[in-house]
Amino acid sequence: MLHSTIEPSADHHPIWSDDAFSSNGVRSLAAYSPLFREGDPATHFYEVLDGCVRAFKIFPDGRRQIVSFAFAGDIVGFGHGDHYRFDCDTIAATRLRAIHKSSLLRAMHDRPDLGEKLLEIAADEVTNMRDLSILLCRKTAVERIASFLLSMTKRNEAAASDGRRSLPMCRADIADFLGLTIETVSRTLTKLRALRVIDLPDRAGFVVRDMHRLQLLAQCDDNTGH
Amino acid sequence: MLHSTIEPSADHHPIWSDDAFSSNGVRSLAAYSPLFREGDPATHFYEVLDGCVRAFKIFPDGRRQIVSFAFAGDIVGFGHGDHYRFDCDTIAATRLRAIHKSSLLRAMHDRPDLGEKLLEIAADEVTNMRDLSILLCRKTAVERIASFLLSMTKRNEAAASDGRRSLPMCRADIADFLGLTIETVSRTLTKLRALRVIDLPDRAGFVVRDMHRLQLLAQCDDNTGH
DNA sequence: CGATCACTTGATCGGTTTCAAGGTCGGTGG
DNA sequence: CCACCGACCTTGAAACCGATCAAGTGATCG
């Protein structure tokens, strides 16, 4: 799950448009379709074209940690070895482009710039994971929720004219991402609404009413969404 | 902080022994010497030859998160952009080899295999960060401490003849790594000793007495230390 | 031998979890 | 068209775990 977008540059082909992994790799999936499961051979990267994807790990005792959400422009499947190290799902109708890992690695031999690009992506992935660690070590529920909402506003840049932003994942997904329970997520969102920091027009959306205070509540100057 | 070791291969030069960053880059540092600070230009990677290094981030409110510990064979400084994104210290007398980032990237253009190696290292880094996230989302103090001790046994392979393993970092460092307080770390270690799962012969060491139960307490089959 | 530092242990407090209802919305079938 | 149902979410009350505050122990070093 990378926040960095692969942008075509003017002087050569867009990175992902080589013949080996051209647009015929595009797939459309309904909500809650699996991309891959933990233990599957790690053969592909996936570029999310639109929709939303979650990556998660399920523990023997049933607990679940969502490791990341991926939106349009993000890439999933990086940072695994030969086999995927966790599960990956869509959480809404999603279009994505499958990219053969092996052909990409082969291509790297001819085009060192591609290697640098991939390293950059890797660095972003590391940053995201570090941000998540920091978010999980942050103590209070308010800080976690505020940080999460902040990162959502940064990543889904487009807000509707009324300021509404989409929150495509359910409360359980937010809870399992932030290391909280559903109830605490709900209570904390309600609290932020009571504080006039956000509005909750419906289940799957939110509006930032006081960005400055939201940032204060998120506390740390840096992180999530980089 | 990478757990992957750079091993010389038989058919060509060891990756790090090119002229540009040969053994003259080796430095010896006393305990608690800074390697770099957040915001410094990210000019070097560092390969830890022996000793131990910690990478951490300090927040405006004084809270600190230790992002990783690096031991002999690990590499620090990867996964930052142009500027380091957190601080890095030694926690014991440590020898390390400084590697110029720019010359390494230049070298990558001539030697694609080097690029692959670096990608592999990046993937490991991502894995480590993900493992940390998972560790921090684990709920109980016992699970966190058990996982931490387990990863220490996996990474510092050599145990003394009596089974003693080194625990070079102080309680405060363990606490800030696991998202706990010093007191809870101490109490939990005491508890594990009472349960006959470990021994604590001295401050800076531990012995695993019942590896099976330690693994059970750590719960998740996977992760930390990979 | 006293000081200091790191760690341990104890008691209380508070925030999150847990357990338990109650509410809202969309869909389905009568 | 409306009543019902189920999924998802919200809200409430009590329990619990780790944080906090506070003291005490033990080693090391001058």
**B118-166 pLDDT, tens digit each:** 878 888 888 888 888 888 887 899 999 999 999 999 887 777 788 899 9
Quote the pLDDT of residue A189.
97
Quote the pLDDT of residue B224.
39
Quote the pLDDT of residue B213.
94
Quote the pLDDT of residue B102.
86
Separation in Å, CA A11 to CA A14, A104, A112: 9, 20, 15
What residues in A contact B143, CB-CB < 8 Å? none
Residue B51 contacts residue B89 (beta carbons within 8 Å): no
Q: What is the mean pLDDT of residues B67-94?
A: 90
Q: Do A130 and B61 touch (CB under 8 A)?
A: no
What residues in A contact B67, CB-CB < 8 Å? 130, 133-134
**Mean of the per-residue pLDDT values of chain A:** 83
Residue nearest to nucleotide C16 (CA to C1'): A184
Quote the pLDDT of residue B126.
82
CB atoms within 10 A of CB A83: 13
A189 CB inside 7 Å of strand C = no
CA of A66 to C1' of D4 (A): 35
Strands A75-76 and A205-208: unpaired
With 70 as the cut, is the pLDDT of residue A64 above it?
yes
Closest Cα in chain B, distance from residue A62 (Å): 10
Strands B94-100 and B87-90: unpaired
Q: What is the mean pLDDT of residues B14-35?
A: 69
B140-218 classified as CATH 1.10.10.10: yes
What residues in A contact B119, CB-CB < 8 Å? 115, 118-119, 122
A139-218 classified as CATH 1.10.3720.10: no
A203 CB inside 7 Å of strand D = yes
Q: Do B139 and A112 touch (CB under 8 A)?
A: no
B218 CB inside 7 Å of strand C = no
CB contacts under 8 A, B 90-149 vs A, are: 105, 108-109, 112, 115-116, 118-119, 122-123, 125-127, 129-130, 132-134, 136-139
CA of B219 to C1' of C21 (A): 33
User: Which residue from A181, A139, A174 is spatially nearest to A52, judged by alpha carbons?
Assistant: A174
Give A181-219 pLDDT, tens digit per residue: 999 999 999 999 999 999 999 999 999 999 999 999 987
Quote the pLDDT of residue A220.
59
Q: What proportion of chain B, given as a percentage, has pLDDT over 70? A: 86
Higher pLDDT, B25 or A149: A149
Give the residue extent of every domain in chain B: 15-135, 140-218
B183 CB inside 7 Å of strand C = yes
For the domain made up of A15-135, give the CATH fold.
Jelly Rolls (2.60.120)
Quote the pLDDT of residue B220.
58
Quote the pLDDT of residue A147.
94
Separation in Å, CA B17 to CA A109, A179, B13, B25: 22, 44, 7, 10
Q: What is the mean pLDDT of residues A176-181?
A: 95
Among A61, A128, A129, the residue to mutate for chain B (most B Cβ within 10 A): A129
Give A67-122 pLDDT, tens digit per residue: 999 999 999 988 788 899 899 999 999 999 999 988 888 888 788 778 778 878 88
Quote the pLDDT of residue A59.
84
B172 CB inside 7 Å of strand C = yes
Residue A225 contacts residue A154 (beta carbons within 8 Å): yes
Give A117-163 pLDDT, tens digit per residue: 887 888 888 888 888 888 888 889 999 999 999 999 988 777 777 88
Q: What proportion of chain A, given as a percentage, has pLDDT over 70? A: 86
State the pLDDT confidence band at A23, using cuts at 50, 70 and 90.
Answer: low
How far apart are alpha carbons B118 and B114 in whole angstroms?
Answer: 6
How far apart are alpha carbons B224 and B211 in whole angstroms?
Answer: 15
Burial class (CB in 10 A: 0-12, 13-18, 19+), B179: buried
Closest Cα in chain A, distance from residue B92 (Å): 24
With 80 as the cut, is the pLDDT of residue A226 above it?
no
Quote the pLDDT of residue A156.
77
Quote the pLDDT of residue A24.
66
Residue A96 contacts residue A49 (beta carbons within 8 Å): yes
With 70 as the cut, is the pLDDT of residue B181 above it?
yes
Closest Cα in chain A, distance from residue B3 (Å): 14
What residues in A contact B118, CB-CB < 8 Å? 115, 119
Q: Do A134 and B108 touch (CB under 8 A)?
A: no
In the numeric block, which tokens belong to residue A113?
A: 């710039």
Whether residue B156 lies within 8 A of chain A, CB to CB, comes out as no
Residue nearest to nucleotide D27 (CA to C1'): B203
- Alpha helices in A72-207, H assignment, sequence order: 101-110, 112-137, 141-155, 171-178, 182-194
CA of A88 to C1' of D24 (A): 51
Closest Cα in chain A, distance from residue B34 (Å): 20
